[in-house]
Structure 1
Amino acid sequence: MWEFIRDRWDLIAYNALQHANLVFQAVFVATLVAVALAVVVNRFRFLDPIANTLSAIGLTIPSFALVGLLLPLTKIGAVTAFTCVAFYAALPILRNAVVGFGQVDKDLVESAKGMGMTEAGILLRVRLPLAWPVIHAGVRTSVQMSMGIAAIAAYVLGPGLGGYIFTGLSQAGGANAINYAVVGTVGIVIVALIADLLMLLLGRVTISKGIRA
């Protein structure tokens, strides 16, 4: 095993970075989309149960099934992998963002309006900072979930460590089959742990001490 890793260390490190890059880019885009949708839902409250239902249903769709549905549109490659990861990443963020915005104290919002703040100002300076701890929790969950989804997306030649797992499975019984599978699996776990630490640090930096849990 150690010889296998040593001989392929540069490629393994590169694929680990690609895996993390795919996840962080997809989660970033998913966060922007999910927060924007949550703002709309918060403004039109009748959309709240619809958003929660869509989020719940979306999470029940098998990732392989979604990949199959995307293939005719986005073909094999990184675009399909990114789209698949971003889709699943948006769901927990959307759910948490809706809850976070819904928990913002209405008296604070009214006070901001009384001070002459615009709707955009209230969103950026009142609603979003107060809702951010809940949204951040959703983003953190999304990052961890997306690590596994990115591995499955390697089935359509997406970047990352998932390719090692599929190579190991395709070579079952071969000399390096277990090595490929173990390196891919353990590598993803290590990347996920590092990513979670970075998300924890992001929370410490971006969440005000006054509202930090």
Structure 2
Amino acid sequence: MWDYITERQSQLLYQGYQHLSLVIQCVVLATVIAVVLAVLVHRNPKIASAAEGISAVGLTIPSFALLGLLIPLAGIGTATSVVAVTFYATLPILRNAVVGLAGVDATLVESARGMGMGRLRTLVRIELPLAWPVILAGVRVSAQMSMGIAAIAAYVLGPGLGSFIFTGLTQIGGANALNSALVGTLGVVLLALVLDALLLGVGRLTTPRGIRV
């Protein structure tokens, strides 16, 4: 296996970079979408409950099925991969964002409003910072899940390490088939660990000191 890795070092590094870049960009986009949706619905319990339900149901959709449905709309390649990864990445973040915002003490919000803070300022200065640890937990779950989804996106010729996995699986019994599948899988796991460590650092930097665990 070591010979296989050294012979393809530049390819592995490039596709590993593509994989990580795809996941990070999709998770950032998913975070923005999820937080905006959560802000819009969290004050209405019925709509918020529906959003959580949709998040749970959305996660049950098989990724291969979604990719197949997206091919006629977005074609084969990066665009379909981005849509699929962003879709799955949004769901756990949305659920956590709704829960996090709903868990903010209402008395704190009322006190801020009583001090003359507008709704937007209260959201930015009070609600989102207090909900951020819960939202970030959803982001971490989303990032780990997105690593796997991005690998499956190689089915539609998406960028990343998934191509090594699919090459190995389609050439079972052939030379280097096992090495290809193992290298792709281990590469995805390694990237997932690196990204989770980065998110832990982001959490330390962005979570208000008074509510750090």
TM-score normalised according to structure 2 size:
0.98
For 1:174 and 1:33, locate their aligned partners in 2 and report how far apart those are by CA, in whole Å.
44
For 1:14 and 1:67, locate their aligned partners in 2 and report how far apart those are by CA, in whole Å.
24
1:3, distance to aligned residue in structure 2 (A) = 1.1
For 1:212 and 1:160, locate their aligned partners in 2 and report how far apart those are by CA, in whole Å.
35
Alignment-derived partner of residue 54 in structure 2? 54
For 1:43 and 1:154, locate their aligned partners in 2 and report how far apart those are by CA, in whole Å.
39
Amino acid at match of 1:75: G
Q: After superposition, what is the alpha-carbon deviation per residue over 1:160-199, rounded to whole angstroms, capped at 9, x for unaligned?
A: 0000000011111111101110110000010000001001
For 1:52 and 1:195, locate their aligned partners in 2 and report how far apart those are by CA, in whole Å.
26
Note if 1:5 corresponds to 2:5.
Answer: yes
Amino acid at match of 2:142: S
For 2:80 and 2:94, locate their aligned partners in 1 and report how far apart those are by CA, in whole Å.
21
Instruction: For 1:1-213, list aligned pairs within 5 A.
Output: 1-213=1-213
1:116, distance to aligned residue in structure 2 (A) = 1.1
Partner secondary structure for residue 160 of structure 2: coil
For 2:139 and 2:129, locate their aligned partners in 1 and report how far apart those are by CA, in whole Å.
15
Amino acid at match of 2:22: L
* Range moving further from structure 2, 111-120 or 143-152: 111-120
Q: After superposition, what is the alpha-carbon deviation per residue over 1:117-173, rounded to whole angstroms, capped at 9, x for unaligned?
A: 111111111110000000000000100010000000111010100000000111111
1:112, distance to aligned residue in structure 2 (A) = 0.9
Partner secondary structure for residue 191 of structure 1: helix
For 1:119 and 1:49, locate their aligned partners in 2 and report how far apart those are by CA, in whole Å.
22
| Aligned-residue identity in percent | 60
For 1:79 and 1:133, locate their aligned partners in 2 and report how far apart those are by CA, in whole Å.
31
1:28, distance to aligned residue in structure 2 (A) = 0.5
Amino acid at match of 1:5: I
Contact 2:101 2:128 in 1 (8 A): yes
For 2:48 and 2:123, locate their aligned partners in 1 and report how far apart those are by CA, in whole Å.
18
Amino acid at match of 1:77: G
For 2:100 and 2:166, locate their aligned partners in 1 and report how far apart those are by CA, in whole Å.
39
1:45, distance to aligned residue in structure 2 (A) = 2.3
Partner secondary structure for residue 209 of structure 2: coil
Partner secondary structure for residue 59 of structure 2: helix
TM-score normalised according to structure 1 size:
0.98
For 1:117 and 1:210, locate their aligned partners in 2 and report how far apart those are by CA, in whole Å.
21
1:13, distance to aligned residue in structure 2 (A) = 0.6
Partner secondary structure for residue 150 of structure 1: helix
Any unmatched runs of 5+ in structure 2? none
Give the number of aligned pairs: 213
Contact 2:171 2:177 in 1 (8 A): yes
RMSD: 0.7
Q: After superposition, what is the alpha-carbon deviation per residue over 1:71-115, rounded to whole angstroms, capped at 9, x for unaligned?
A: 110000000001000000000000000000001011111111111
